[in-house]
Amino acid sequence: MLLVQLFWINDVFIFYILFEGLIIPMFLLIGIWGTRVRKINAAYIFLIYTLVGSLLMLAGFIVMFSHSGSLEMQVNLFTYMSVNRQKIIACCFILPFVIKVPLIPMHKWLPEAHVEASTLGSVFLAGIIMKIGCYGMLRFVIFICYGGVYYYAPLVISLSLLGSFYGAVIVLFMYDIKKIIAFSSVVHMNLINVGIFSFNVYGIEGAFIGLISHTLISSGLFFSVGFLYKRFKTRLLNYYSGLMYFMPLYATCVFLLLLGNVAFPGTLAFISEVLLISGVYFKFGFLAIYILFITFVLSVVLSFRLYNRLFCGYVKWLVNDRKFFDLSGRELLILLLLIVFLLYWGMFSIPLYELLPNLYYISN
C-alpha cells in the first residue's frame, strides 16, 4: 500500500514521507534478516546515508513553501521561480535522489547493503529502492525546477559516466558473486542517470525503459544468487565451477538473464541502451559515446566471466561433496516470469511506450 501511494500522490511532502518510510522495512531486512556478521553495520550505513539526504530535502521543502505557499506539484509547476531559487531547490532534491541511485561518491552503502541483506532484501533494494530516486527526478524535480536541474546536469552526468566506468572495472577484481551483481547494478543505474540528465526524448525514454529492464534483470540475478547460496552456503566465486553439468535449468536461466545484462538484441535492455546512446550522442557528442562504449564492453566481459567461472570447467569439490539438485518448481517459476517479461518486451515493446507521458514536454 505504501508503494502504491508513492507512485500516485501529487503532494511533494507526502511523497517525501512515503519515500523515507521505505527506510524502515529496508533497515529491518538488512539488520535483522541479513545473512552475515556485518549486517548491523550495513544497516546503519544505509540509514546514515539516507538520513543525510533527507535533511537536505527538508531544507528544499522550506524554500519551496516559502516561495509558493504550497507543496502541491501543480501549484509549484505554474509558479514562477527565479533561476537562483531553482538551483537551490534542485540541489536539495538531487542529492537525496542520487544517493538512492547511487552516484559516486555516495555509493558506499550499496555493496554493503546488498551483500549483507537477505535475498528478498536485495531484490527489494534493487527492484524498488534504487528506482525511486530516478522516479522522483522524472516526476517532480525536472518539472518544478528545470533550470536548476539543467545547471547541475554536467556535474551529475560526469559523475554518472565515471561511476559506470569505475563499477565495470572494479567488478573484474571481485570474487563475491553478490557483490559482483551489486556493482553491475551500479553500472546500469548510472547509465540510466545519464539518460535522465540528457534532457532529450531519446535519453529519457531509454532511462524509463532501462528502469524496467534493470528491475527484471537485477531481481532475477539476485534471486539466482540466493538459490545458489541456499544450497552451498557460500557466495565466493572460487568455490564454484562446472555447475552446468548438474543444474542445466539454472544455467539456462542465468544465461538468459546475463544476456539481458549485456543488452543482447532481443532483450528489453537492448532497446534501452540504443535509446540511451542516441540521447547521449545528440546531447554530448562522441566523447561520452566512447566512455559508454568502453563501459558496455567491460559489462560484457564481467558478465561472461561470471558465467564461465560458475558453469564451465571441471567440477570442484564443493559440488561433489554436497547433495545437489536443480531448480525447484517455485524457483523456476520465479525466474521464468522475469525472463518472459524481459524477452517479450524486448521483442514487442510497443505497450511500454504508452506508459511514457510528457516526455516531449521534459525534453523541450
**Owner of C-alpha cell 547541475:** 152
Q: Contact at 8 Å (CB) between 225 and 192?
A: no
What is the length of the chain? 364
For residue 72, the cross-strand partners are 11
Q: Contact at 8 Å (CB) between 178 and 186?
A: no
Cell readout for 182 is 551489486
Greatest alpha-carbon pair distance for the chain in Å reads 70
As a whole number of angstroms, the distance between CA 79 and CA 76 comes to: 5
pTM of the model: 0.85
Q: Helix 248-261 vs helix 268-284: angle between axes, to the nearest 10 degrees?
A: 20
Q: Contact at 8 Å (CB) between 279 and 202?
A: yes
How many CB atoms neighbour CB 42 within 10 A?
24
Cell readout for 307 is 558465467
As a whole number of angstroms, the distance between CA 281 and CA 289 comes to: 6
As a whole number of angstroms, the distance between CA 316 and CA 174 comes to: 20
Q: How many CA atoms lie within 13 A of 6 on its CB side?
A: 17
pLDDT tens for the chain, 364 residues long, are 566 667 777 777 788 887 777 777 777 777 777 666 677 777 788 788 877 777 888 887 788 777 777 777 777 777 777 778 888 888 888 888 888 777 777 777 777 777 777 778 788 877 777 788 788 888 777 877 877 888 888 888 888 888 888 878 888 788 888 888 888 888 888 888 888 888 787 888 888 888 888 888 888 898 988 888 888 877 888 888 888 888 888 889 999 999 888 888 888 888 888 888 888 877 777 777 777 788 888 888 888 888 888 888 777 665 555 556 788 888 889 889 989 888 888 887 665 555 554 444 444 4
